[in-house]
């Protein structure tokens, strides 16, 4: 039983199962999507044209029995938002089901000659192309519901909303969760438009009767799985009733606000007076008060961290799932909105229409700065989603993200790197993340540089916080480790326990090695990650990107951010050290 | 003459909150973090991250900030011990001179620097 590549060509509506070639044999998840995009996609192609591809890959351990929190699916292609290579990954049902069908990656390529839209159904017997004209214009809530009515075995539904159909640059790809809601998104970078450009509305995966995932060394896998699970359950942040389980990712809201690093009102301040009202603590309070919804929700089967939530309205009916920190920052603080119910309503609209919440919230903040509406105008912000739903010219502009909207409305405070807007950490106040925002192969991305243990990063435990010395090397080690975890199928949040608990890191490595039949002693996580980064970096160079693109926006160099009143002052040559190795040796 | 105090997590219950307690406290002269905690019978070991005026003064397990002064008009934010602020979202953020001196010689990447081996 060897993993297969499923190549789906929309030009002639063919599906072929190919043996996984040697050059891709060791890869999964992000390592595989980036390898395939590197090998098969012309870096100079238009992301929405016939020559781009959408690659979908589960991770190394996805679909294995009870590997903890291992349900991430990687989606890759050339991004319409950034023009760079892109990998965005999601929770939900898809990863484990694709893996259990014996599929290493789905490559979606071509465009139908007749311009028609299709749904693709994949099960153990093969691939069916079905007319999707009845689904056009429908939001993901309805699409998910219809797909579960139409197909048996509660399948995974990978789909795009109306925004993806219109090929907008902020179109995400939705994956349904265990309750068949569309809150799981490969959100960033507009890959929903890449899927839409292939005229695919939804991909439905039924793994019943599939061959399952081959585990080459079961004893090693089990040993690793146990160590990793124990570490997750022991760590303050990921344990039962720990920070993530109790309050979700929005546990960060009050911390980052106290630190003066919460981007507020289009990145004009680092503190928001209404932060507590949109924090994870408040979500927990609303769930308790309204006796509905839940915290500690699992976004995919087998997750032991369970950081998601289901947010209830005042009458106890469910508004949306989940309210993430990034969501609450972008649709809340960055728009000057301190009302969780409205944040939830806008989240629901994003999930249904097929929008990345970070880019969308930041886009509304640009519209506010441009004077289309006032900061804090929650009704006005919510009404903008009607424009998007109707596909009015304003709605179509907004669904193309921050840079497009800023250009059209004459705003110069544009918090983007390589066309992608910044997540919820102000780099002027929290300088370390600025290294990652600036140099990531993905554009401004908070999930590109998760910390690893100092001995693995090669810094011996000591990092002088007051100098830039060694920070470029640290950022590289973080980005490389993150690329490894993104390839594993494990949720990135295992990064916390594997940083602090040695056995947790060993468990991650051993469980991956067990599946793949590798010797864990000879695995160098940072070096494996660097192989992925190198492909991504070279793709971007061939697409026309240079070190001049590895910069934070100009306004951050001269506008002082309150309350610390600091500017971005990291020298360019420090940033250029992060990827200097790509062309050395 | 007053200060603003925010308590987050389980320690909020000791000051009348559920998950968050937000208080404005009258203040004569200066006080300390230790004295503020004592006012609400919060044992220092139940606290972790401490911010004074958006500057990080403490990390979980260290308790370096207990004798740091708090002045009129200051804003103090104190989190329960199990809150975590991961390094990659923390590196380069402003911190007190005392904490900076400590981190120069200890592991600053981990969430609880004292536990580094």
The ipTM (two decimal places) reads 0.97
Q: Which residues contact B29 (CB under 8 A, 6 or more apart)?
A: none
* CA–CA distances in Å: residue B4 to residues A65, B1, B13, B69: 50, 11, 17, 14
Find the radius of gyration of the CA atoms of chain A.
22
The angle that helices A280-290 and A340-353 make with each other, rounded to 10 degrees, is: 100
**What whole-number distance in Å separates Cα of residue A185 and Cα of residue A357?**
9
Q: Which two tokens stand for residue A506?
A: 């060993």
- What's the pLDDT score for residue A4? 97
Q: What is the pTM of this model?
A: 0.97
Please state the φ and ψ torsions of residue A335, each to the nearest 5 degrees. Answer: -105, 5
How close is the nearest chain B Cα to the Cα of A473, in Å? Answer: 13
A220: three-class secondary structure by DSSP: helix
Segment 450-489 of chain A within 8 Å of chain B by CB: 450-451, 453-454, 457, 459, 461-466, 471, 474, 478
| Chain A positions in Cβ-Cβ contact with residue B105 (cut-off 8 Å) | 462
* Rounded Cα–Cα distance for residues A477 and A471 (Å): 10
Q: What is the pLDDT along chain A (585 residues), one digit of tens a residue?
A: 689 999 999 999 999 999 999 999 999 999 999 999 999 999 999 999 999 999 999 999 999 987 788 999 999 999 999 999 999 999 999 999 999 999 999 999 999 999 999 999 999 999 999 999 999 999 999 999 999 999 999 999 999 999 999 999 999 999 999 999 998 999 999 999 999 999 999 999 999 999 999 999 999 999 999 999 999 999 989 999 999 999 999 999 999 999 999 999 999 999 999 999 999 999 999 999 999 999 999 988 889 999 999 999 999 999 999 999 999 999 999 999 999 999 999 999 999 999 999 999 999 999 999 999 999 999 999 999 999 999 999 999 999 999 999 999 999 999 999 999 999 999 999 999 999 999 999 999 999 988 888 888 777 656 777 788 888 999 999 999 999 999 999 999 999 999 989 999 999 999 999 999 999 999 999 999 999 999 999 999 999 999 999 999 999 999 999 999 999 999 999 999 999 999 986
Lookup: tokens for A405: 């909207």
Asked whether B60 and B81 are in contact (CB, 8 A), the reply is yes
Nearest to A451 among B88, B93, B112 (CB): B88
- Give all strands (DSSP E) within A46-125, no chain letters: 54-58, 73-78, 85-90, 103-109, 118-123
Residues A185 and A540: their CA atoms lie apart, in Å, by: 24
Nearest Cα to A80, choosing from A160, A192, A183? A192
Residues of B in contact with A432 (CB under 8 A): 87-88, 90-93
Decide if B107 and A461 are in contact by the 8 Å CB cutoff: yes
Cis check for the bond before B68: say yes or no (omega within 30 of 0): no
Residue B10: closest C-alpha in chain A: A281
Spatial contact of A478 and A472, defined as CB atoms under 8 Å apart:
no
Q: What is the reported pLDDT for B116? A: 44
Whether A236 and B60 lie within 8 Å, measured CB to CB: yes
pLDDT along chain B (117 residues), means of 10: 96 96 94 97 97 97 96 97 93 94 84 62
DSSP reduced 3-state for B74: coil
Interface contact A571, partner B, CB < 8 A: no
What's residue B111's pLDDT? 82
Three-state SS annotation for A461-472: CECCCCCCCCHH
Tokens of A503: 């056995």
Of A256, A260, A462, the CB nearest to B105: A462
Which domains, ranges and CATH numbers included, belong to chain B? 2-115 (3.10.20.30)
Pairing of strands B75-80, B2-8: parallel
Contact A417, A551 (CB under 8 A): yes
Chain A from 246 to 275: CB within 8 A of any B CB:
247, 251-252, 254-256, 258-261, 270-271
Instruction: Specify the pairing of strand A4-9 against strand A103-109.
Output: parallel
List pLDDT tens digits, range A485-510. Answer: 999 999 999 999 999 899 999 999 99
Domains of chain A, CATH where assigned: 4-205 (3.60.9.10), 248-414 (1.10.569.10), 431-500+523-583 (1.10.599.10)
Contacts of B56 in chain A (CB under 8 A): 259
Are the Cβ atoms of B110 and A251 closer than 8 angstroms?
A: no
Q: What is the distance, to the nearest Å, from the Cα of residue A566 to the centroid of all Cα atoms in its chain?
A: 29
pLDDT in tens, A287-315: 999 999 999 999 888 899 999 999 999 99
- What pLDDT score does B117 carry? 41
């Amino acid at each position: 039983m060897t993993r297969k590549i499923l190549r789906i060509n929309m030009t002639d509506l063919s599906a072929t199962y190919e043996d996984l070639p040697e050059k891709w044999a060791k890869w999964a998840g992000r390592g595989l999507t980036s390898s395939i995009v590197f090998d098969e996609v012309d870096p100079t192609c238009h992301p929405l044209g016939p020559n781009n591809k959408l690659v979908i890959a589960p991770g190394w351990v996805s679909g294995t029995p009870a590997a903890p929190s291992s349900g991430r699916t990687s989606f890759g292609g050339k991004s319409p938002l950034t023009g760079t290579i892109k990998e965005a990954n999601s929770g939900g049902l898809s990863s484990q089901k694709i893996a259990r069908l014996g599929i290493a990656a789905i490559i979606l390529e071509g465009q139908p000659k007749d311009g028609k839209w299709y749904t693709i159904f994949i099960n153990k017997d093969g691939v069916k192309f079905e007319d999707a004209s009845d689904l056009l214009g429908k939001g993901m809530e309805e699409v998910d519901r219809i797909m579960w009515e139409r197909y048996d075995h509660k399948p995974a539904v990978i789909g795009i909303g109306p925004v993806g159909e219109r090929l907008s640059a902020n179109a995400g790809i939705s994956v349904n969760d265990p309750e068949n809601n569309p809150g799981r998104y490969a959100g960033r970078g507009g890959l929903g438009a890449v899927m839409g450009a292939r005229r695919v509305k939804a991909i439905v995966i039924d793994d019943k009767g599939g061959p399952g995932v081959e585990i080459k060394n079961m004893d090693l896998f089990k040993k690793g799985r146990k160590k990793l699970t124990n570490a997750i359950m022991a760590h303050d942040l990921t344990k039962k009733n720990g920070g993530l389980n109790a309050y979700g990712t929005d546990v960060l809201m009050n911390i980052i606000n106290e630190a003066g690093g919460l981007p507020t009102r289009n990145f004009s301040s680092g503190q928001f007076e209404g932060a507590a009202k949109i924090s994870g603590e408040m979500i927990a309070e609303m769930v308790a008060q309204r006796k509905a919804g839940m915290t500690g929700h699992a976004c995919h089967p087998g997750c032991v961290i369970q950081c998601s939530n289901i947010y209830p309205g005042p009458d106890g009916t469910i508004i949306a799932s989940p309210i993430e920190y990034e969501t609450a920052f972008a649709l809340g603080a960055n728009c000057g909105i301190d009302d969780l119910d409205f944040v939830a309503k806008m989240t629901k609209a994003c999930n249904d229409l097929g929008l990345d919440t970070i880019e969308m919230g930041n886009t509304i903040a640009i519209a506010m700065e441009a004077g289309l509406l006032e900061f804090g105008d929650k009704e006005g912000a919510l009404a903008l989603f009607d424009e998007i739903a109707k596909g009015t010219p304003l709605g179509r502009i907004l669904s193309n993200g921050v840079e497009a909207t800023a250009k059209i409305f004459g705003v110069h405070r544009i918090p983007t790197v390589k066309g992608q807007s910044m997540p919820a950490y102000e780099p002027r106040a929290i300088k370390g993340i600025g290294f990652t925002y600036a140099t990531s192969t993905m554009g401004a991305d908070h999930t590109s540089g998760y910390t690893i243990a100092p001995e693995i990063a090669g810094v011996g435990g000591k990092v002088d916080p007051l100098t830039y010395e060694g920070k470029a090397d640290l950022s590289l080690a973080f980005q490389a480790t993150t690329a490894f975890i993104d390839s594993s199928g494990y949720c990135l949040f295992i990064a916390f326990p594997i940083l602090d608990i040695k056995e947790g890191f060993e468990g991650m490595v051993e469980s991956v090695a067990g599946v793949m039949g590798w010797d864990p002693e000879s695995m160098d996580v940072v070096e494996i990650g660097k192989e992925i980064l190198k492909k991504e970096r070279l793709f971007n160079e061939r697409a026309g990107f240079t070190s001049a693109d590895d910069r934070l926006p100009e306004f951050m160099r001269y506008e002082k951010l309150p309350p610390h009143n600091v500017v971005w002052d990291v020298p360019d040559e420090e940033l250029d050290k992060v990827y200097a190795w790509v062309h050395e040796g | 003459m007053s200060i603003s105090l925010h308590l987050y997590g389980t320690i909020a219950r000791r000051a009348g909150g559920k998950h968050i307690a937000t208080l404005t406290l009258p203040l004569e002269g200066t006080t300390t973090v230790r004295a503020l905690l004592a006012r609400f019978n919060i044992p220092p070991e139940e606290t972790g991250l401490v911010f004074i005026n958006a500057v990080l003064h403490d990390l979980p397990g260290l308790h370096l900030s207990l004798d740091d002064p708090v002045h009129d008009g200051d804003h103090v934010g104190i989190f329960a011990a199990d809150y975590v602020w991961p390094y990659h979202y923390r590196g380069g953020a402003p911190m007190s001179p005392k904490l900076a001196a400590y981190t120069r010689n200890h592991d600053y990447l981990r969430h609880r620097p004292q536990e580094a081996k």
